[in-house]
A and B are shown apart, each in its own frame.
Chain A
Amino acid sequence: MKRLVPLIPIAVVMGLAGLAQSALNDYYQRILAVIAINVILAVSLNLTNGYSGDFSLGHAAFMAIGAYTSAILTLPVRMKAVVLPDLPPWLGQVELPFAVAVVIGSGLAALVAFIVGIPVLRLRGHYLAVATLGLMVIVQVIALNWQPFTRGARGINGLPPFTTLLWAYGWMLVTIAVIWRIVHSSFGRAMMAVREDELAAACRGVPIFRTRLLAFVCGALFASIAGALWAHLITAITPSSFSFLITFNVVAMVVIGGSGSITGSVIGAVLMTLLPELLRRFETALAIGGQPLYGLSQIVVALMMLGVMLFRPQGLMGRRELPEVLAAMGIGVPTRPSRVEAAGEKTAQAQTPG
């Protein structure tokens, strides 16, 4: 019976998504879809940035791979002949279902992450951050120059709008479920052990490099799914769609929610999607002397990021998950407190500058 408990929230979320899809207007559906995409991005980035302790700024690169792959594979053959006439025939003649294209895209992103990760993950800390940032620039430059496949600056538009709420939330649940399982498996513990103390982890026989590489590859895989969903929501992609801004936004979601907490990433993604959207309404409402305050929403979001960091630098959730919080408040099913996480909390607080 207890094994069926996790199925309840899944059924509830999918039911609500289905309901929303039939009842809400396009605007609210769109916002909800963006939330789901951002949740996928944040939760998957958390795998490296939160759990294995490798700070990556390259998430947008994998999104771009997923988006372009899915765009090229699903575009109707008739349109492809006009839009991308220089594709090799074996690509020009295919038109795959959305789900298949998404899976192929994520496989490709994982492969790229694997190949790139082998040299790049030899780096640590901020060096790794720059290297992954570089990966993003490289992917962007390739998208800009590889005309036959990407149409360069013009980008690919007129993509079929496949991203419904059911797809978005379906993939979101898959992402959360898989990453939850990974994090709570022995492999997840290995990741956290590497993050906390590499030497100690190595002494206990944790394969350091393989663990980090696998976290990186998994993160890339799901980022690619989010990229494909995004592409088929917006229906037009260009190389500049996958920029620093997106990466930074996702990093902010993870950190605000709490690096090392899946619940936190979900909360961070929801907040960082809704707030700018809601604040935007004040920009015109609070017009001073008839001049709307455009830019206000970005400023308030920035101030809130500052606020969260200053008063709760470990993020809203720290490293806890929803069941633990509920248990701490005396609600819900008690779960085994994980020893590694409890230890993580302590070291995070004991860390000193320099």
Chain B
Amino acid sequence: MLTPSYVAQQVINALNIGSIYALVAIGLTVVYGILRLINFAHGDMMTVGAYVALAALTALAMPAVAALLIAMLVVSALGIVIERLAYRPLRGAPEVAMLITSLAISSLIQNGATMTLTAQPRPVRLPAELTQRISALGLSFAVMDVIIIALAIALMVALTLFVQRTTLGIAMRACSENVRVTQLMGIDVNRVIAVAFAISAGLAAAAGVLWTGKFGIVDPFTGFLPGLKAFVAAVIGGIGNIPGAMLGGYLLGFAEVFFVAFMPPEVSGYRDAFVFVLLLIVLLVRPSGLLGAREVNRA
């Protein structure tokens, strides 16, 4: 059973799913870093992105790349609007207040989609050149799988460069160190936070399009579970930290795939429990995640 090609195939599988988790986790982390907000509606932004792309693909017959860009743009705009209406008024309130509003937003998106679009899952069909299979050395994967990994890494690199090199990116990092001091330095904090939300939502949309494109299906609850898992991934890596979120996403992908791949079914039923035990161990050994900086005691 444990032939090299079997192991290699499972590594490819893990990289694939891990890339998407990593994308979602990064989006969460960007916002968390600045606002200390666990955004439970983040996964639902994936769902919205997927529906927008689906509409662009089918109703407007757009090419896949255009559909992806449209979805990212629309959802980024939605992210800014939501931040303005639901999170900005809450700055300065207790941390959990924003967490609760994000739960409310999540419920709004899920039930709004159920009401207007029905809960019937919809098929997402990508052009044939994307779903084509490649078989080599006993391995098998789709063109889409390669694109997922490449696009995820490209987006992550772009984001890292943005945060490291641009003024706005530096302002974002400054905000995540200390919002008030940043403000005193003459930086328009509102703009920085709006940009962070736009980036976060755009990444979620991209992940949503990749996810539904890979699996071929979307319904109003599509993003919720990946969103929650990505949250775990972000915490494992050290929430608020971009490389950490990436690492966490890939670790989660590997843990999920390998647990099924190398354990008998009697044991693999405990997969989700195992993932969380792993999380607990990581947190206990390194309380701020694998790559997280030690958090200053914020009393």
- Report if A and B touch in the complex (beta carbons < 8 A): yes
**Smallest CB gap from B110: residue in A:** A298
- Can you list 29 A-B contacts with CB-CB less than 8 angstroms, sorted by A residue number? A122-B287, A123-B287, A126-B36, A130-B235, A131-B280, A131-B283, A134-B280, A137-B273, A140-B272, A141-B269, A141-B273, A142-B270, A198-B297, A251-B100, A252-B103, A255-B97, A256-B100, A299-B115, A305-B107, A306-B86, A309-B90, A309-B97, A314-B93, A348-B94, A351-B92, A351-B93, A352-B180, A353-B179, A354-B178
Residue A9 is within 8 A (CB to CB) of chain B in the complex: no
CA distance A75 to B100 in the complex (A): 38
Most buried by A among B35, B92, B100, B272: B100
Partner of A120 from the list B36, B38, B280 (CB cut-off 8 Å) is B280
Contact with B along A55-86 (1 / 0, CB 8 A): 10000000000000000000000000000000
- A141-B273, A353-B92 as given contacts; A305 in contact with B284, CB under 8 Å: no
CA distance A295 to B273 in the complex (A): 32
CA distance A250 to B299 in the complex (A): 26
CA distance A293 to B115 in the complex (A): 7
Contact with B along A248-276 (1 / 0, CB 8 A): 10011001100100000000000000000
Residue B91 is within 8 A (CB to CB) of chain A in the complex: yes
Contact with A along B275-294 (1 / 0, CB 8 A): 01101100110011000000
A120 CB, min distance to chain B CBs, angstroms: 7
Q: A301–B90 contact, CB under 8 A?
A: no
Q: A294–B115 contact, CB under 8 A?
A: yes
Residues 170-223 (chain A) with a chain B CB within 8 angstroms: 197-199
Residue A114 is within 8 A (CB to CB) of chain B in the complex: no
CA distance A348 to B90 in the complex (A): 13
Partner of A126 from the list B86, B91, B179, B235 (CB cut-off 8 Å) is B235
Q: Which 6 A-B pairs have the closest CB atoms?
A: A134-B276, A313-B93, A354-B179, A141-B273, A302-B107, A305-B104
Q: B283–A127 contact, CB under 8 A?
A: yes
Q: A305–B101 contact, CB under 8 A?
A: yes
Contacts of B277 in A (CB 8 A): 134, 138
Contacts from A to B (Cβ < 8 Å) = 49, 55, 119-120, 122-127, 129-131, 133-135, 137-138, 140-142, 144-145, 197-199, 244, 248, 251-252, 255-256, 259, 293-296, 298-299, 301-303, 305-306, 309-310, 313-314, 348, 351-354
Residue B114 is within 8 A (CB to CB) of chain A in the complex: yes
Residue B245 is within 8 A (CB to CB) of chain A in the complex: no
Q: B94–A351 contact, CB under 8 A?
A: yes
A153 CB, min distance to chain B CBs, angstroms: 11
Q: B272–A137 contact, CB under 8 A?
A: yes
Q: A313–B90 contact, CB under 8 A?
A: yes
Contacts of A138 in B (CB 8 A): 272-273, 276-277
Contacts of B288 in A (CB 8 A): 127
CA distance A153 to B155 in the complex (A): 40
Contacts of A314 in B (CB 8 A): 93-94
Partner of B107 from the list A126, A293, A299 (CB cut-off 8 Å) is A299
Other 19 A-B pairs with CB < 8 A, given A197-B299, A248-B103: A55-B96, A119-B280, A123-B284, A124-B287, A125-B36, A134-B279, A199-B299, A295-B115, A302-B104, A302-B105, A302-B111, A305-B104, A305-B107, A306-B101, A309-B100, A310-B86, A352-B92, A353-B91, A354-B36
